[in-house]
Structure 1
Amino acid sequence: MTVIRTDDYGRVARERLPADVWDFIEGGSGDELTLAANAAAFRRARLRPRVMVDVSTVDTTRTLLGSRLATPIGIAPTAYHQLVHPDGEVATAAGADRAGALFVVAMFASRTLKDIAAASAAPLWLQLYWLRRRDAIADLAERAADAGFAALVLTADAPRLGRRLRDVRNGFAVDGRVRAVNLDAALMAASHDRRAGASALAAHAAQTFDPSLTWADLAWLRERSALPVLIKGILTGEDAAAAVAHGAAGIIVSNHGGRQLDGAIAALDALPEVVDAVAGACPVLFDGAVRGGRDALVALALGADAVLVGRPPLWALAAGGADGVADLLTGLTDELAHDMALAGRPTLADVDRRLIWGHS
């Protein structure tokens, strides 16, 4: 198959991956209403292009928390990359490096932070869940700083795991040969316990995630790490304002790819409200069904400083390793630059709500 667009990587990956791994990657929670809504929100967006603008040069570079990036399109945190490729997150990092893109590494990465960092000179951030074992959080944050990671990303929308019915039907558990190597094996044991009609990941989350997390806990993490802390999983202006008030260095508008509260608002529909509430106090990033350069352009126009893609890098990793990831990110950036030119917006500073019909 000739790979031309993002979905082509998905078709290749589906042919290569075990069915339960594919469902783990692709599935949402409940009836997958929010999963569908994320994509539908982009299909509704209509653009207002300007003409007679000099677009002989189009600039996609972006500076984010002091790091210069070749593209505003980065990689969202997803767990266990070795489920789809033996090199795992090391290959993903190498691909991001070639594209000059941000990579947000998951807490449940299957390669060590040190090895991942060695594969990329591009910025790396580390995503964290709030565990009952606070010592594990503090230790991981310290090791991330030592490895050269530039920020921490606290996922706030997972006091418990969403009911992901594909995983339940498959009795999904993480292959014992693939492990979250940056955490104690005992802490992760339940994620490998396969039982018919149950998700091992949900059982693990019930054991290890701390549902008592509140805004007051953010101070605890900020006191223990000099790294800036972003909050991921915000969908309302109220929570955006609270994040700013409690010292968050950035916000990621996200509904966890439709994998948490089913029926939650599409991430794109939530974006303008959050951007307005933040009012420039910190960067606002976005994830949720970005599948092409046009999608990225729409999210950027609605106020995102950068966009993250989650499932597509796993598809590209399965299809072509580090080269696949690099080609995916480069292709998405080329699509973005192409659409910026056709829209008459030669720089990211020119991309604003006036581009979106109904928001001008």
Structure 2
Amino acid sequence: MSGRYADGLAERARARLSPEVYHYVACGAGDGLSASEAEQSWRSWRFRPRVLRDVTYVELATELLGTTYAAPIGVAPTTLHRAAHPDGEVETARGVARCGVPMVVSSNAGSTFEDIAATGVPWWLQIYLTSERSVSEPVVARAVAAGARALVLTADTPVVGTKREGERSVWSAVEPGWLRVNFPDQGGGPDDPAVRAAAEKATDLGPQDVAWLAARFGLPVVVKGVLHPEDARRCVDAGAAAVWVSHHGGRQLDRAMAPAHALAAVVEEVGDDAEVYVDGGVRSGLDVLTALALGARAVFLGRPVLWALADGGAAGVVSLLGELTSDLEECVRLAGEPSAASVPRELVVNTGS
């Protein structure tokens, strides 16, 4: 990213985090190919900017699920915020709220939904449905009661992709209170076999779960982890208000195609019927502009936000998101486009490089 704050951000965060936590957040699944190529994949696109256009003022605001936000940028769900800052997701939310963009809160969060909501941040809940749906339901109900504006169903995690551990497992460096504080008391700690069995992720996830979430809780449902256009169509037909193109930061099936290369086909399939979002390797205004031209309504950031939280708390999050927004404003203006919400597909071509 061209912004000054983001230069060297990951390394500054690394100096503040335990080695186990840093490795866990930074690593990908398998050999890490999908994780490592995500950033570079955005650079295979090239722009055809327009000229002789009035770009004295450019509009960055965009509408997502009926709410207008300051920029087409959001914060993706990540875990272990409490490992990065004592106030965890609450501190992240303080920064995000100042930027006027949405924050997606992990169902595994270490801060209560009520405390996150008290910051005034506009927030959505990310949820993994469990094999026993009854375990998930009270968590979602609590989030809805606390003011969540949407439900983001993670669809690409029937099992957790294997990561290569460092010398010590991350779980040896994690306090019990850093995770799953919004789940009802299940009678034991996270290592209790009964608790672990009840929390196993659903391997039978299907379109019926999208329809059930929408009907049961009355909020827009976003399905995250979509790479195939036919899956996007199944999500929308089941009632999803949006699909989120993502390969989970390269943390699930290694060698899964980069979201930057999957996005266009998904938009072509469902872009007239639902909103489409994307994450994965977005690091600059040029990346955001590319995603918008390919049809994404918004991009979401994962790891960089956690690095910013570790580096500077809420102020670090503001610096990161603020610089990315300023970078995007310059890029939109240089592309000859007056609005980020109406960047045309013809702006970008894929060179295959």
2:134 corresponding residue in structure 1: 135
Q: Deviations over 1:57-93 (max 9, x none)?
A: 1111001111110011110000121010001101111
In the superposition, relative to structure 1, how do residues 277 and 87 fare at CA in structure 2: closer, same or farther (>3 Å)? same
Say whether 1:212 aligns with 2:211: no
CA shift in 2, pair 1:206/1:82, >3 Å: same
Alignment match, 2:170: 172
- Residue of structure 2 in register with 1:95 after alignment: 95
Superposed CA offset, 1:85-117 (max 9, x none): 001101111111100011000001110000000
Note if contact 1:160-1:205 (Cα within 8 Å) is conserved in structure 2.
no
**What aligned pairs does 1:152-171 form with structure 2 within 5 A after superposition?**
152-166=151-165, 170-171=168-169
1:338 CA displacement: 0.7
The 1:205/1:309 distance shift into structure 2, 3 A limit, reads: farther
How far apart in 2 are the matches of 1:191 and 1:84?
23
The aligned amino acid for 1:271 is: L
The match for 1:196 is none
Q: Is the 8 A contact 2:40 2:281 kept in 1?
A: no
| Mean Cα deviation higher: 37-46 or 283-292 | 37-46
Match of 2:77 in 1: 77
1:16 corresponds to: 16
Q: Is the 8 A contact 2:249 2:281 kept in 1?
A: yes
RMSD between aligned residues = 2.1
The answer to whether the 8 A contact 2:60-2:341 is kept is no
- Distance in structure 1 (CA, Å) of the matches to 2:177 and 2:111: 12
Q: Which residue of 2 aligns with 1:115?
A: 115
2: CA distance between counterparts of 1:206 and 1:180? 13
Q: Contact between 1:6 and 1:292, CA under 8 Å: does it hold in 2?
A: no
Paired position in structure 2 for 1:126:
125
Q: Post-superposition shift, 1:187?
A: 8.1
User: Aligned equivalents of 2:269 and 2:66: distance in 1?
Assistant: 23
Whole-angstrom CA distance in 2 between matches of 1:27 and 1:186:
30
2: CA distance between counterparts of 1:161 and 1:231?
Answer: 17
Counterpart in 1 of 2:244?
Answer: 252
Kept in 2: contact 1:27–1:166 (CA 8 A)? no
Paired residues in the alignment total: 346
Instruction: Say whether residues 1:235 and 2:233 are aligned partners.
Output: no
Q: Aligned equivalents of 2:295 and 2:187: distance in 1? A: 39
Q: CA deviation at 1:347?
A: 0.5
Q: Which residue of 1 aligns with 2:300?
A: 308
Whether the aligned pair in 2 keeps the contact of 1:230 and 1:250 (CA below 8 Å) is yes
Q: Which residue of 2 aligns with 1:330?
A: 322
- What SS does the aligned partner of 2:28 have? coil
1:245-274: CA deviation from partner (whole Å, max 9, x where unpaired): 101111100000000000111011000010
1:227, distance to aligned residue in structure 2 (A): 1.1
Partner of 2:263: 271
Counterpart Cα distance in 2 of 1:250 and 1:116: 23
Pair 192,39 (structure 1): closer, same or farther in 2 beyond 3 Å: farther
2:56 pairs with 1:64: no
Structure 1 unmatched runs, 5+: 194-202
Q: 1:185, CA displacement in angstroms?
A: 5.2
Equivalent in the alignment of 1:199:
none
Q: Which residue of 1 aligns with 2:289?
A: 297
Residue identity matched to 1:136: V
CA 1:48–1:218: 2 relative to 1, 3 Å: same
Mapped partners of 1:183, 1:35: distance in 2: 30
Could you say which residue in structure 2 is the equivalent of 1:34? 34
Residue 290 (structure 1) shift: 0.6
Deviations 1:160-199 (A, max 9, x none): 00011136x5322133342321014548844699xxxxxx
User: Which whole-Å CA distance do the structure 1 matches of 2:197 and 2:337 have between them?
Assistant: 44
1:116-140 per-residue CA deviation (whole Å, 9 max, x = no partner) reads 00012x4210000011232232112
Letter in 2 for 1:272: A
Question: What is the distance in 1 between the residues matched to 2:180 and 2:255?
Answer: 30
Report how far residue 357 of structure 1 moved.
Answer: 2.3
- Once residues 103 and 214 of structure 1 are traced to their aligned partners in structure 2, the CA distance between those partners, rounded to angstroms, is 25
Counterpart contact for 1:84–1:317, Cα < 8 Å: yes
* Higher alpha-carbon deviation: 147-156 or 133-142: 133-142
**TM-superposed deviation, 1:152:** 0.3
Q: Percent identity?
A: 43
Question: Quick check: 1:25 aligned with 2:59?
Answer: no
Aligned residues of 2:139 and 2:184 also touching (Cα < 8 A): no
1:200 aligns with none
Residues 1:324 and 1:192: Cα distance change in structure 2 (over 3 Å): farther
Which residue is equivalent to 1:198? none
Q: Which residue of 1 aligns with 2:146?
A: 147
Query: Which whole-Å CA distance do the structure 2 matches of 1:125 and 1:135 have between them?
Result: 20
